[in-house]
Amino acid sequence: MINGKDGRSASGTGNGRRPGRSATGRPGSKFVRALLRDRKGTAGAIFLLLFIVLAVFPGQIAPYNPAYIGFPRSLPPSAAHWLGTTSQGQDIFSQLIWGTRQSLLIAVAAGGLATLIAVLVGVSAAYLGGIKDGILSLITDVLLVIPIFPLIIVIAAYLRSAGLTDIIIVLGVLGWSYGARQLRVQALSLRNRDFLTAASVRGERSRYIIVAEILPTMTSLIVATFLGAAVFAVLTAAGLQFVGLGDPSAQSWGTMLYWAQNNEALGAGMPLWVIMPGVCIALLGGAFAFLNYAFDEISNPALRPVRRLARTPTVRSGGQPAAVPLVSDGQFPGAASGPRPGRLLEVRGLSVAYATGAAPVVAVDNVDLDLDEGEFLAVVGESGCGKSTLMLAISQLLVKPAGITGGGVVFRGREMAQMSDKQLRHVRWQEFSVVMQSAMNSLNPVMTIGQQMADACKAHSAMSKKEITERSREVLRLVSIDAVHLGSYPHQLSGGMRQRCMIAMALLFTPDLVIMDEPTSALDVVAQRSLMRQIKELQDRLGFATIFVTHDISLVGHFSDRVLVMYAGQVAELGSTSSLFGTPRHPYARALLEAFPSVRGPKIPLTGIAGAPPDVAAPPPGCRFQPRCADAMPECSVIQPPLYDMGDSVVRCLLYQDAPAGTGTLAGRSARVAHAAATADGARPEQAGVAQPAPLLEVDDMSRHFNLRGFWSKKTLHAVDDISFAIGRREIVALVGESGSGKSTVARLLTLVYAPDSGEIRFEGKPISALRGRSGRLAYRGHVPMVFQDPYASINPAYRVSHGIMRAIELHRPDLRRPDRRAEAIRVMEAVGLSPAETMLSKYPYELSGGQRQRIGFAQALALRPKLIVADEPVSMLDVSIRVGVLNLMAQLRAREDVSILYITHDLASARYVADRLIVMYAGHIVEVGPAEQVMAAPRHPYTQLLLSAVPDPRAPRDEPGPADAAEPPKVVNPAPGCRFEPRCPFAIDECRRITPQLGEVAPSQFAACHVALMEARTQSPATVAPAGEQAPGGKVQDR
Amino acid sequence: MPFVLRRLGFFVVTLWAAVSLNFVIPRLMPGNPVEVLEGEHPHLDPQAIHSLTVLLGGSYQQGLAAQYVTYWQHVLTLNFGISITTSFGTSVTAMVAHALPWTIGLVGVTTILAFILGTLIGLVSAWRRGTWLDSALPPIFVITSAFPYFWVGLILIYIFAIRLGVFPQEGAYNFLNDTPGLNWHYLVDVFEHAVLPGLTILITAIGGWILTMRNNVITIMAEDYVRTARAMGLKPWRIMWAYVGRNAILPNLTGFAMSLGFVVSGAIVVEYVFNYPGLGTLLLTAVNALDYPLMQALFLLITVAVLLSVLAADVVTALIDPRTREAS
């Protein structure tokens, strides 16, 4: 019979829930090993094997012929008949053994048939989309809801003799709907994954994509579907046979139960006749269910059993003795000597580890820090450095498998680890609060903002309902959010608004300390800058201390009092902001500060930091930064450096072991820069010469709109409207814009993912619309490949690195014979700096870092011998220190491989660093075009000016006032004519609201789409069009 | 609310599909279905033949499309004809109406009870992760949810009715001793008779809900907003209820709606095992007696019941989850 959920995927939410983070890795041996490690999986597998043996060799195991009716009737169990005999005189035990065959056959055959149909329907529905998806989904849902068993009964009544084949077919044809639904959900989530778009951009056929790219990554869910279908088949078949709708002469467990019931076995004292077949059914079903359950746990790491973490006094890796801190207790740089009355937080020797795998993985290693009232401490580091874990540890929010393994946190004189849960809860939110990383998911989706604020208020005070509302409105006002949003649900607010709501909530009780973990990371540049200012302003006004965690050191330069730089779980350097930015001592801190291309001032060639952060599970012996350190000494690879006190900062680096406190012995930045300039090897971004007369790619008045699904009204999203530009040979053009500007749509238009609604794209003079059939488009794709933004999502995790490159070569390089293809793959790997190429080619993506994977993206593009590479935000998801490496790579490729690059980004600084020309987009329009250096020095369009002013420049002496614009770029739906920037523009005139501005020349080879800028250029009064940075806050004097 | 409208639309489509299935299946047999059926029941009188004609949607002389329309007319006026073998001459509607309350009482109540209890136990079990409760429960319930419904019923009968004699073996009440009505003796007897079948359904159905809820809760507990709730210092009960519970139950509700078909299937056979006078027993009796009018009416009714429950589950989901209300 079919029970509630019987062995079907017990997670209920499908596997599409957390893409990327809980990747199943590749199928195959890794999975089987995981399965066997799980007790339930092993138990299930053993039972299944047992039944398989019984099904294959019943004759050898069963003592008698099950159909033989010559034995004495209704015997109790005995030596001759282990389970007794039936009312007809058959041996029960033999019947049981022989019944295995039919049940297993039904399970596998019907289950397999159902799974096959489920895969076909589910995956096709997800991939085809649109109407076809709607129809398939409807059929699935209808079949799911119609009660199957009554339906089968009705069918069986008409069919009369339900033989084995009939049962299998009926069960298979009716039992696929549940699996199809789940598979569709997962396939939908995969559909938007970049590696599928990458495959179609590469020129693969749909068939190939479904079979070779989608299905392998869905293996675990397909297997789970099969297991669930098998259980369904076994139970339903047993039920059918039990009520007499099967073949009564068949040898199966269900039929045994039928006869037992008909002969009143229970009442006649033959319980085993009834009990044993049921037990067998349950065991077989249970075996499938256990395997299914083990599957769920493997694919969803959150479900795995958790282990306890032992608390040891000191947990060190590498076997080194505990480093003796040279900083005495209570004395810290940046603070006066001796414990201060305003001391808020003292963290001593804090270590955190995760109890995963064989040995605990140390995420935070022996961190000391202090915080005084009202202080702004920035914690900076790249991915994997442990900064978020550190924050969770300080706020006592760690959950298994993570745990504090050493040290303590003292808040206002009280040791937090010794507080009871109740005391801790009392302190929370009132004395310190936390703003989580990325508020996207930090608010309860089923409660309104007001309700969540009320929850916090009620938990800590006895405020009346009126007072709660009043207070909630007040904090929302602090962050400039309209109080009407108290009744909004989180999904109704934009990202920036949700973030500000979280900050407002954190201030409900004006705590002494607010910990903020990357509160601005998900925001656009302009919104980010304005939020930072707002936070600083709030801090000045309300007087709370804050620990601000970020990966972007340039962001905090003007706001923080002290900065803590973390690397690989340890404190690398901790000191006052001025000392860190002025004379960074730790080589990592120095390299980090220098990894930011600047928007003003001279263009300096950067080198970034080679390599990647160490694997926290196996850190290098000695200094953790040593493998990447340009100043490493021989002893650095052996000795773990302790913290040295330099007066205004502490630094963990052997370079300072002999230096007296208060001195920095290494060359300052200017010397280092000179050194880098002298040894730059192709790292200097070359200025391209004048662009070739015949452009490589031209875009004329191109538009692309998307229809939004609205039942009553027709809403059209104008992603890209009437844009025109050109790209020449051997040129790097940067396309700059924030979210919603349309830049990603441009990338997809150029790579044939979308077709333009109007306008034309011409490649080498020939229009794209004239491309003939698949071969024409394939040829174009060979000239214009794309590199994607997310290095983790754009490579299929099921295959080795060589797969994508070889496919690209097979599709686009017919000139190469088979033996030469491998050589070509090696060539492109070396060209992008991934060596040794052979080793790299045979690795799986999960073994590589983000920067390495992004280089593979470029390698795949290069293998085509392209003319133009479209790079869609290739560095925005990479760590800062690795970004420069990829930017330099782009410049090298342009020089060595004779290729143009369209570099799409939201980051003006990197655009300036690497591009020859700059195109700025806003809300689907191009607003400014020109040589990169020239536009950056003197932007004419007000939006470009705004963007430029929002980019943080750590080298500037102080924070510039700049505009107070906090608005986010609009979604352009059913737009009216007129300039789209007009609502935010400080210079807008009447004409701006009525007439859409077109691009016009405002300076030699510089074009802007702005009425005001054009007017001024025509009247030739460049004095009023001031370059950014010197602009007075109020803007120009202008008649409105 | 566009969401509810869409679900109503789905309801209508599924109903149409079920009715059409009922129409199509007899026609899958070769030859003239009425004649074939007459052949099987050679002693039918004109009333029975009329009933069969009703069943099949009008005289076979009409075209297929006309028969379809006539059939729909019959369905919408609840004209299902008369029983031809089970209880000859009784109107199908009357027989169904007689059995319906028993099924609603037994199956309806226990299914909802199993869902609620299973969800609560799953919630508590996941909340107290790492304790003995949580390590022991999942494997037990994985096995119990693989038991065939009817087999559990048989075992319970064996233990409690035959060996221990505590509860009655079959039926809904004692025909001989009781007079149906609102008297205490009758109600107690009804309750006694309902214990074993109800327990059967409860035991087998609850396992699935416990497991799914547990897994949902564990997944949700790793979400960011739960961490925010803990950081805010809310009481554990509040977090478990409003932050974890309300979010974790959503996929469970969807799952409930989707698996109702399965639950009903199991309940049918449970009724059969206990000879409980509900729709299930009636259906199986009709099948074995080849009473086509009754059979098809029951199929339709069961489908409608499942559909209504699905609709109800969807409405509850929309009430809890604001995102569903605005889903496009």
Residues A800-820: tens digit of each pLDDT: 899 989 999 999 988 888 888
A247 — pLDDT class (breaks 50, 70, 90): confident
Query: Which pair of tokens denotes residue A43?
Result: 């138990």
DSSP state of A428: B
Q: Contact A750/A698 with Cβ under 8 angstroms?
A: no
- pLDDT, one tens digit per residue, over A1017-1026 is 888 654 444 4
Q: Find chain B residues with C-beta within 8 A of A296's C-beta.
A: 215
- Does B233 contact A156 at a Cβ distance shorter than 8 Å? no
Top-confidence range, A115-119, A326-330, A384-388, A739-743: A115-119
Average pLDDT of the residues in A850-873: 90
Enumerate residues 14 to 33 of chain B having a beta carbon within 8 A of any beta carbon in chain A.
14, 17-18, 21-22, 25-26, 28-29
Dist. CA A377–CA A357, nearest whole Å: 34
Q: Is residue A198 predicted with pLDDT exceeding 80?
A: yes
Each as own residue / partner, the long-range contacts of residues A240-243 (CB below 8 Å, 24 or more positions apart, any chain) are: A240/A152, A240/A153, A240/A156, A240/A162, A240/A167, A242/B148, A242/B150, A242/B269, A243/A153, A243/B269, A243/B272, A243/B284, A243/B287
Q: Which one of A73-77, A158-162, B240-244 scores highest in mean pLDDT?
A: B240-244
Report residue A886 as tokens.
């990829």
Least confident of A87-91, A320-324, A542-546: A320-324
B191-217 residue pLDDT tens: 888 888 899 989 888 888 888 888 888
DSSP SS3 for A718: strand
Residues whose CB is less than 8 angstroms from the CB of residue A546 and which lie 6 or more positions away in sequence, other chains included: A375, A376, A377, A513, A514, A515, A516, A535, A539
Average pLDDT over residues A72-83: 80
Least confident of A665-679, A698-712, A853-867, B244-258: A665-679
The more confident residue out of A125 and A10 is A125
- Work out the mean pLDDT of chain A and round it to a whole number: 80
Handedness of CA B295, B299, B302, B304 (dihedral sign): negative
Residue A762 has what pLDDT?
Answer: 92
- In SS3 terms, A522-553 reads as CCCHHHHHHHHHHHHHHHHHHCCEEEEEECCH
Q: What is the pLDDT of residues B44-69, one digit of tens each?
A: 677 767 766 666 655 555 677 877 88
- Reference A855, options A835, A833, A880; nearest CA is A833
Residue of A nearest to B224 (CA): A442
- Token pair for A1009: 């789409």
Q: Could you count the other beta carbons within 10 Å of the beta carbon of residue A454?
A: 20
- Best B107, B206, B227 member to test A by mutation, with max A CBs in 10 Å, is B227
- Do residue B205 and residue A4 have CB atoms under 8 angstroms apart? yes
Asked if B320 lies within 8 A of A146 by C-beta distance, the reply is: no
* Residues in chain A, overall count: 1040
A to B CB pairs, distance under 8 Å = 322
**pLDDT for A341:** 62
Cβ A257–B272 below 8 Å, yes or no?
Answer: no
- What local confidence, expressed as pLDDT, does residue A114 receive? 93
Single-letter amino acid, residue B266: G
Structure tokens at A603: 């263009």
Rounded to a whole number, what is the distance in angstroms from the first to the last CA of chain B?
A: 11
Task: Write down the pLDDT at residue A1021.
Answer: 53
Of B147, B215, B259, the CB nearest to A11: B215
Task: List CB contacts of A109: < 8 A, sequence separation 6 or more.
Answer: A168, A172, A233
Give the DSSP H/E element, type plus range, for residue A352.
Answer: strand A343-354
**Chain B environment of A5 (Cβ under 8 Å):** 145, 207-209, 211-212, 255, 259
Mean pLDDT across the stretch A681-690? 41
Tell me the residues of chain B between 236 and 265 that have a Cβ less than 8 Å away from chain A. Answer: 238, 242-243, 246-247, 251-252, 254-255, 257-265
| Percentage of chain A modeled with pLDDT above 90 | 19
- Residues A563 and A553: their CA atoms lie apart, in Å, by 9
| pLDDT score of A451 | 93
Residue A674's pLDDT is what? 43
Residue A192: pLDDT over 80 = no
Residues of B within 8 A of A3 (CB-CB) are 145-147, 149, 204-205, 207-208, 262-263, 266
- Judged against a pLDDT cut of 70, whether residue A314 lies above it is answered with no
| Chain A interface includes B288 (CB < 8 A) | yes
- Measured between CA atoms, the residue of chain A closest to residue B230 is A397
Strand, coil or helix: A369: strand
- In percent, the amount of chain A with pLDDT more than 70 equals 84
Tokens of A328: 């005495």
Asked if B311 reaches chain A (Cβ–Cβ under 8 Å), the answer is no
Burial class of B72 by CB neighbour count within 10 A (0 to 12, 13 to 18, 19+): middle
A429, closest residue in chain B (CA to CA) = B232
Residue A19 CB: number of other CB atoms within 10 A? 15
Tell me the chain A residues in contact with residue B260 when contact means C-beta distances shorter than 8 Å: 145, 147
Residue A671: which pLDDT band, with cuts at 50, 70 and 90? very low
* ipTM tops the 0.90 cut: no
Full-prediction pTM beyond 0.90? Answer: no
Of the candidates B118, B130, B145, which has its C-beta nearest A289's C-beta?
B145
> Could you say which of B2, B243, B299 has the minimum Cβ distance to residue A150?
B299
Quick one: closest CA in A to B244, which residue? A444
CB contact under 8 A, B205 and A3: yes
**Is B36 touching A (CB cutoff 8 A)?**
no
Classify residue A78 as exposed, middle or buried by CB count within 10 Å of its CB (0-12, 13-18, 19+): exposed
Percent of chain B scoring above 90 in pLDDT = 4
Of B10, B229, B299, the CB nearest to A154: B299
Most A CBs within 10 Å: which of B147, B158, B237, B326, as the mutation test of the A interface? B147
CA A491 and chain centroid, separation? 19
Q: What pLDDT shows up at residue A866?
A: 92
Is residue A345's pLDDT more than 50?
yes
Asked whether residue A329 carries a pLDDT value surpassing 50, the answer given is: no
Separation in Å, CA of B320 to nearest CA in chain A = 7
Q: Do A13 and B251 touch (CB under 8 A)?
A: yes
In this predicted structure, what is the pLDDT of residue A162?
61
What's the rounded Cα separation, in Å, for the pair A832 and A821?
A: 17
Q: How far apart, in Å, are the Cα atoms of B309 and each of A10, A145, B70, B316?
A: 21, 10, 28, 11
In this prediction, residue A1036 carries a pLDDT of: 35
Confidence (pLDDT) at A574? 93
Among A1, A277, A433, beta carbon nearest to B149: A1
Give the model's pLDDT for residue A775.
85
Q: Residues 161-200, chain B: which have Cβ within 8 Å of A?
A: 162
**CB within 8 Å of chain A, chain B residues 123-162:** 129-130, 135, 138-139, 142-143, 145-152, 154-155, 157-158, 162
Spell out the residues 6+ positions from residue A120 whose beta carbon is closer than 8 angstroms to its own.
Answer: none
List, in order, residues 6 or more apart from B9 with CB less than 8 Å away: none
CB A408 within 8 A of CB A350: yes
Six token digits for residue A602: 């001279």
- State residue B102's pLDDT score: 86
Residue A1030 has pLDDT above 50, yes or no: no
Q: How far is CA A199 from CA A863, B66, B213, in A?
A: 14, 52, 38
Task: Give the chain A residue whose CA is nearest to the CA of B130.
Answer: A306
**Among the partner residues B150, B221, B322, nearest to A239 by beta-carbon distance:** B150
Note the pLDDT tens digit of each residue in A996-1024.
Answer: 888 888 888 899 998 888 888 888 654 44
**Residue B159: helix, strand or coil by DSSP?**
helix
Assign B142 a pLDDT band (cuts: 50, 70, 90).
confident
**pLDDT band with cut points at 50, 70 and 90 for residue A746:** very high
DSSP-assigned letter for residue A213: I
Instruction: Give DSSP secondary structure letters for B82-149.
Output: B-SSTTTT-BHHHHHHHHHHHHIIIIIHHHHHHHHHHHHHHHHHHHTTTSHHHHHHHHHHHHHTTS-H
Q: pLDDT, tens digit, for every residue of B261-310?
A: 777 888 888 888 888 888 888 888 887 777 777 887 888 888 888 888 88
pLDDT at residue A718 in the model? 86
Which amino acid, residue A765? G
CB contact under 8 A, B150 and A242: yes
Instruction: Provide the pLDDT for residue B289.
Output: 76
* Contact residues, chain A, for B299 at CB < 8 Å: 150-151, 153-154
Q: Residue B172's CB: how many other CB atoms inside 10 A?
A: 25
> A109 or B69: which carries more pLDDT confidence?
A109
User: With bands split at pLDDT 50, 70 and 90, how would you rate the model's confidence at A339?
Assistant: very low
Residue in A with minimal Cα distance to B299: A150
Confidence category of residue A337, pLDDT binned at 50, 70, 90: very low
Which residue is associated with the tokens 């807008």?
A988
Closest CA to B162 of A268, A275, A262, A75: A268
Among B224, B309, B320, B324, the residue to mutate for chain A (most A Cβ within 10 A): B224
pLDDT at A987 > cutoff 90: no
